Structure 1
């Protein structure tokens, strides 16, 4: 067995730290200058590879990010020359190389990550590609990791990402930050993509924990990054508040043996108080900037739940009223199902079942609907009907722990 090389290990560790901290910023800078996301990613990957080969011998540079940026630009310039660049463009390439040498320090460059995120949410792209592109371009996740999160094979996800980047190139996508007025109208697809990364529509019953956890940290990072890049947009703060509130409860969602624990039964002492405080601060910022939109409303609902840590009770009247506002803004099946449950808690099982009955035609294979239906039928004393709904909910559950929880509820009828 080969003896571990401490210098190689240190080099790899440094490269990993740089990749996590600076990858998106470096790719964004390269993409803005060269107008091609694929070439920017390839050049930066080549720079990282060269770093792993050369740094153990030459020693770590004083500014690793600057070394990577300069090396990536050289790769792109060499590629342009080898592709038969026209003679009159050669002086421009030389000027660019000199400029890069002078300004290679990323701290001296504008932060282009917002422009990169907006490009990944380009209106000419299939919306289903917005999130995967953003995860790869901004965070450097590979197709295998992204595919696993979205239940797609690595090969299929790789093909989708390649087609999306080619589409951006064909459309001449700009990787620059728009003006303030233009930004407000373009930010929503970015917010939606980040929320989709966290788990489209957070459902306390029926969400696949493994899938939600798969990209939870990345989504939280991106939402926090947006608050730094666009601090004057209310919904940016609303999204961060929403994700932070949900993340604060992660330690309480499973017991020591891995059994699923619904929100109503969670030990609030396990909720992360610092994360709750961060969420509340962000929510207050959102509400000061503008009337609540979708994400601020959802964060406000999560804030009501968070109060139980301090008061021991949930204000279901407030939750029901907030859900009324949310469905008037975003009448998704998930929001309507959750609204029915909030009304049930506030006004009784009959109110919940009435609201759920109005959704039955569109419920189909939506597991949270059937879990909610089973719960409220049981609360209303309609055991036989509840058993059937529990069976349907179990069949639609992808998480074994959730299936076991529903099975135990059905057995208790």
Structure 2
């Protein structure tokens, strides 16, 4: 494997773990991010000549630690800085010598980002950047704000952690439920981001979905009695089970209703059902359990040969009541259209305020589909055009383009 590929793999697979390992010992997130970034640059400069070290992660931690020490000496941050960093160095050397992996401190980092002192609106973006390595521009896109605005907000959040020396310790048991929701939201957002990544040619973090699932399993060990953790895992696994069927042999996008069930991963579907059943035992329904239940109904097509759209529409109605998100509203309209006809589905779609859907691609893709069914061709063309312009997946753009072209036949 070429040096560049090794560095990319380590960045993809270990960035969140390395940053979290450094950050829980050194409270300045901005400084840790800079130091780790410098360490990767140093690897790009030196490894092609010296060769890839036996323990790349240990090398990167050592390089980052040296930069933090240099910074501490230059700025005289505090009397405790150097002893802390030296202890980190000794710990890193001990782990490297033993051939052990660095402790997975991502859970502590996730929960730190839910600290009550941090603005609730910034908790999920902060987790996405610090623990999962998603850049500010992509986070801004997900939250429909300007990249510069999101970058400024993230910088302020990190400065607050540093200035107030917020604790990195795990919260007490009674605090877990109130802080868990934001963590689940971040993991779900990460999975959603990773869902489309393999179709993006220049994406450096194609395993983000796998990392989100791993974090879900980590949360399950931490909060084994929280049904929404099981619900989120079930949701992600049901979606992951269909990843291989989303594109045909030529790379063309295949919508869920047209996918070949034989290409779905039965093992992942079975595991998802086990988690969903475990969640049901708690008797506390939540957003992720309902979303997983919707995917479970889709999965039943593998054995029944049909999709129970009325059941899906009812589940979406429950989802809208407890979690009225834009995605839930659009999903409800789509299910109603399948169950009761395009005109009825479109009526529910058009209830959504226009200002909310300006940049929401699923809305315009569904609108194009429903207008097409109702022979409202001019509106269908306009909707498909907007959906194509908002799509980041080239295969989806081609699919929508084919749908739009059929309007001219």
Aligned length in residues: 391
2:386 is aligned with 1:403: no
Segments of structure 1 that go 5 or more residues without pairing to the other structure are 1-5
User: Residue 322 of structure 2 aligns with which residue?
Assistant: 329
User: Residue 104 of structure 2 aligns with which residue?
Assistant: 111
Q: Alpha carbons of 1:35 and 1:387: their partners in 2 closer, same or farther (altered >3 Å)?
A: same
Q: Alpha carbons of 1:178 and 1:230: their partners in 2 closer, same or farther (altered >3 Å)?
A: farther
Contact in 1 for aligned 2:197/2:206 (Cα 8 Å): no
Following superposition of structure 1 onto structure 2, how do residues 219-258 of structure 1 map, counting pairs within 5 Å? 219-231=209-221, 232=224, 233-258=226-251
Contact in 1 for aligned 2:187/2:215 (Cα 8 Å): no
2:86 is aligned with 1:97: yes
User: Residue 284 of structure 1 aligns with which residue?
Assistant: 277
Q: 1:139, CA displacement in angstroms?
A: 3.7
Following superposition of structure 1 onto structure 2, how do residues 135-284 of structure 1 map, counting pairs within 5 Å? 135-140=128-133, 161-199=154-192, 217-231=207-221, 232=224, 233-284=226-277
User: Residue 22 of structure 1 aligns with which residue?
Assistant: 14
Contact in 2 for aligned 1:112/1:175 (Cα 8 Å): no
Instruction: Output one character per residue of 1:43-75: Cα deviation in whole Å (capped at 9) or x when no partner.
Output: 3344445556379659835x5544543453344
The secondary structure found in structure 2 opposite 1:27 is helix
Q: Supply the distance in 2 between the matched residues of 1:375 and 1:99 (Cα, whole angstroms).
A: 57
Instruction: Output one character per residue of 1:315-365: Cα deviation in whole Å (capped at 9) or x when no partner.
Output: 223212211221111122331232233234334456435544544767753
Q: Alpha carbons of 1:94 and 1:280: their partners in 2 closer, same or farther (altered >3 Å)?
A: same
Segments of structure 2 that go 5 or more residues without pairing to the other structure are 392-396
Q: Alpha carbons of 1:208 and 1:408: their partners in 2 closer, same or farther (altered >3 Å)?
A: farther
Q: Alpha carbons of 1:17 and 1:105: their partners in 2 closer, same or farther (altered >3 Å)?
A: farther
Instruction: Output one character per residue of 1:221-246: Cα deviation in whole Å (capped at 9) or x when no partner.
Output: 12331322343232223223223322
2:64 is aligned with 1:72: yes
Q: Supply the distance in 1 between the matched residues of 2:202 and 2:7 (Cα, whole angstroms).
A: 25
The secondary structure found in structure 2 opposite 1:331 is coil
Q: Supply the distance in 1 between the matched residues of 2:264 and 2:72 (Cα, whole angstroms).
A: 53
Q: Alpha carbons of 1:260 and 1:371: their partners in 2 closer, same or farther (altered >3 Å)?
A: same
Following superposition of structure 1 onto structure 2, how do residues 290-309 of structure 1 map, counting pairs within 5 Å? 291-309=284-302
Contact in 1 for aligned 2:13/2:207 (Cα 8 Å): no
Q: 1:125, CA displacement in angstroms?
A: 5.6
Contact in 1 for aligned 2:372/2:380 (Cα 8 Å): no
Q: 1:394, CA displacement in angstroms?
A: 1.5
Q: Alpha carbons of 1:97 and 1:253: their partners in 2 closer, same or farther (altered >3 Å)?
A: closer
Q: Supply the distance in 2 between the matched residues of 1:97 and 1:132 (Cα, whole angstroms).
A: 31
Q: Alpha carbons of 1:47 and 1:289: their partners in 2 closer, same or farther (altered >3 Å)?
A: farther
Q: Alpha carbons of 1:329 and 1:99: their partners in 2 closer, same or farther (altered >3 Å)?
A: closer
Q: Supply the distance in 1 between the matched residues of 2:117 and 2:285 (Cα, whole angstroms).
A: 28
Contact in 2 for aligned 1:30/1:40 (Cα 8 Å): yes
| TM-score of the two chains, using structure 2 as the length reference | 0.76
User: Residue 34 of structure 2 aligns with which residue?
Assistant: 42
